[in-house]
Amino acid sequence: MRELKLEEIQQASLAILDEIDRICAKQHLTYYLAYGTLIGAVRHQGFIPWDDDLDIMMPRADYEKLRRYFKKKYEGKLKLCTRADTDRYIYGIYRVVDPSYVFENTNEYELGYDGGAFIDIYPLDAFGGEGPEEEKRAAKVFWKINAMNQVYGSWMKPGAKTKLWRKPVKYLCWLYVKLFKGGKKYCRRIDRDFRDIIEEEFSPDDAYVGVVAWDDRVVRYRREWFEETARLPFAGREFSVPADWDDVLKTYYGNYMALPPEKDRHPQHDYRLYAKD
């Protein structure tokens, strides 16, 4: 097998995004370029030169519709990876994968899974109302889910390398999931559990939305920033973005137009991708 260069990885993931864009238009689903991909669209009209993945967000309802579409109606070469149906898949987001490539995880603290070239899809959920008390409540729910993800991750990685001081913690997490969460059955319901928590705690009319189920910090966006979409150029194409993309990026990154230090201008993910012979 031949290892792909960065430019080839970008083209492989771009082809997946083309297909997602086509599916969403046909199925009347909303998506938005997100995170570094959205910065790339604004700052570079394409990939951040050193970026090695693509990210999009979808409103929760459309996110779940896309999952059902892949499960029941999609007839192309791509597949949708979730914790419920992909062995050793640890992430709390959906990932659309092109399995005609071979994915190799190079992070010794994680497990590999049967993947390929990919794009990540993040669910955009209601995330509380106005005022400091609502902000505190939203943060409390977020960190509860984050802790559940940490426990799940520790349980899922018995074969991965572990720092010595974490081994007792990992064992306790494994024991907790085995005894109280149904063991292997937990992977089939954990994302549903998160969805139920979010629906119970927050309202579809909340002033704020955010990625509650899978992020490393609390970031809340004004709901109205996502009520309309626009199209921005990206690598010779156009893709969907929040109409208020500037507010979205400033909220998450601050001065997103500033380039990072040169030492940080390199791919951020631990994987290799290979073309099949």
Q: Which of 204, 183, 239, 178 is nearest to 125 (CA)?
A: 204
Q: Phi and psi dihedrals of 122, rounded to 5?
A: -105, 130
Task: Give dist(CA 98, CA 112) in Å, integer.
Answer: 16
How do strand 55-59 and strand 117-126 relate by DSSP bridges? parallel
The pair of structure tokens assigned to 262 is 């040169």
pLDDT digits (tens, 9 = 90+) for 45-91: 999 999 999 999 999 999 999 999 999 999 999 999 999 999 889 99
Q: pTM value?
A: 0.93
Q: What's the distance, Cα to Cα, between the start and end of the chain in Å?
A: 5
In what helix (H) or strand (E) does residue 33 lie, and over which residues does it extend? strand 32-33
Higher pLDDT, 29 or 160: 29
- Other beta carbons less than 10 A from residue 172's beta carbon: 13
Whether 106 and 270 have beta carbons less than 8 Å apart is answered as yes
Task: Give dist(CA 182, CA 197) in Å, integer.
Answer: 18
Work out the angle between the directed axes of helices 167-180 and 132-156 (0-180°, nearest 10): 100
Per-residue confidence at 179, pLDDT binned at 50, 70, 90? low
The pair of structure tokens assigned to 45 is 């009209």
- The pLDDT assigned to 188 comes to 87
pLDDT digits (tens, 9 = 90+) for 82-123: 999 998 899 999 999 999 999 998 877 677 888 999 999 999
Higher pLDDT, 168 or 255: 255
Q: Which of 174, 159, 54 is nearest to 111 (CA)?
A: 159
Task: Give dist(CA 215, CA 158) in Å, integer.
Answer: 23
- The pLDDT assigned to 158 comes to 56
pLDDT digits (tens, 9 = 90+) for 10-49: 999 999 999 999 999 999 999 999 999 999 999 999 999 9
In order of their start, the domains of the chain are: 2-126+222-275 (3.30.460), 132-201 (no CATH)
- The pLDDT assigned to 107 comes to 79
The residue ranges of DSSP E strands in 197-275, in sequence order, are 208-210, 221-222, 229-234, 237-242, 271-275
